[in-house]
Amino acid sequence: MADLTFSQFLSAHRQRLEELYVTSGAISWSVPLEDFARAVWEGVSVLASRESAQIPKLLEKIKSEELALVLGCVAGNERAWEAFSFGYRNAVYEAACAFTSDLTMARELTDTLTSELYGFETKDGQRRSKLNYYHGRASLKTWLRAVVYQKFVDEYRHMVRHEPLPDDLQQVAQDKAVSGSDEEKYAKLLGEAVSVTLRELAPEERLILSYYYVQLLTLKQIGRITGQHEAT
């Protein structure tokens, strides 16, 4: 059986989609029903098998209120962005603190990510933002923690690739031994934060993280395996 198209999805589940649209508060952020329904479809279609009977169950798992808020942000609704900043910027900062264990680095990471989440308009009027890749399958805070972690790892990889070798390797080894207890403490905090995030992700999303962080595949390689665009 062919995969369900958006028009088929909308026709089959319009009543429930309209209910979710109203309760999500999407109207407050000036998000059209069709845009909301399409975003829900994109979120559900990743997890749904080809048996459409499973879709009603998946619809109930979609974080519709947070998805609606994100859609408002992506559309450039300033009130939606203000609500996002008020409700979620601190979550980004807390995750950055947990991963970096350095307040200055955490602030820099938060500022950089906030800019990337806010995005910018392209020549065709579309908004390029990391929020485009939130589909409501996990809570927004869980998704943001994963985004912070990915950014942290990317920054760390970049730093390691471009960091020159120190002149006195013996002194570095001694300094490393002195700071070992702090590293163990931060490693424990990092492990706990990552564990919480992973438990809330869908199995398919955990597999993708494994490809990237454990098997060290590139985003392009992962895209070929999963059939998704590498930006996703």
Q: Are residues 137 and 208 in the same domain?
A: no
Query: Tokens 């730093």 — which residue?
Result: 159
Q: Are residues 164 and 221 in the same domain?
A: no
**92 part of a folded domain:** yes
In terms of pLDDT, which residue wins out, 223 or 186? 223
Q: 34 is written with which tokens?
A: 């069709």
In terms of pLDDT, which residue wins out, 154 or 82? 82
Element (H, E) at 72: helix 64-74
Confidence class for position 193, pLDDT limits 50, 70, 90: low
Q: Are residues 63 and 168 in the same domain?
A: yes
**166 part of a folded domain:** yes
Kindly tell me the sign of the dihedral angle through the C-alpha atoms of 37, 129, 3, 211: negative
Confidence class for position 158, pLDDT limits 50, 70, 90: low
Q: Contact at 8 Å (CB) between 41 and 9?
A: yes
Q: Are residues 143 and 211 in the same domain?
A: no
**209 part of a folded domain:** yes
Question: What pLDDT is stored for residue 15 in this prediction?
Answer: 95
**131 part of a folded domain:** yes
**123 part of a folded domain:** yes
Q: Are residues 232 and 168 in the same domain?
A: no
Confidence class for position 177, pLDDT limits 50, 70, 90: very low
Q: Are residues 184 and 69 in the same domain?
A: yes
Which residue type occupies 106?
A: A
Q: Are residues 136 and 222 in the same domain?
A: no
Question: What pLDDT is stored for residue 164 in this prediction?
Answer: 55
Q: Are residues 112 and 180 in the same domain?
A: yes
Residue 206: domain span: 202-232
Confidence class for position 81, pLDDT limits 50, 70, 90: very high
**What is the SS3 assignment for 163-186?**
CCCCCCHHHHHHHHHHCHHHHHHH
Q: Are residues 150 and 102 in the same domain?
A: yes
Q: Are residues 148 and 223 in the same domain?
A: no
pLDDT tens track for 11-58:
999 999 999 999 999 999 999 999 999 999 998 887 775 445 588 888
Q: Are residues 158 and 217 in the same domain?
A: no
Buried b (16+ CB within 10 A) or exposed e, 160-177: eeeeeeeeeeeeeeeeee
Compute the average pLDDT of residues 58-70: 94
Cα gap 231→35, rounded to integer Å: 20
Q: Are residues 40 and 79 in the same domain?
A: yes
How many domains is the chain partitioned into structurally?
2
**119 part of a folded domain:** yes
**1 part of a folded domain:** no
**64 part of a folded domain:** yes
Question: What pLDDT is stored for residue 4 in this prediction?
Answer: 75
Question: What pLDDT is stored for residue 86 in this prediction?
Answer: 94
Question: What pLDDT is stored for residue 169 in this prediction?
Answer: 43
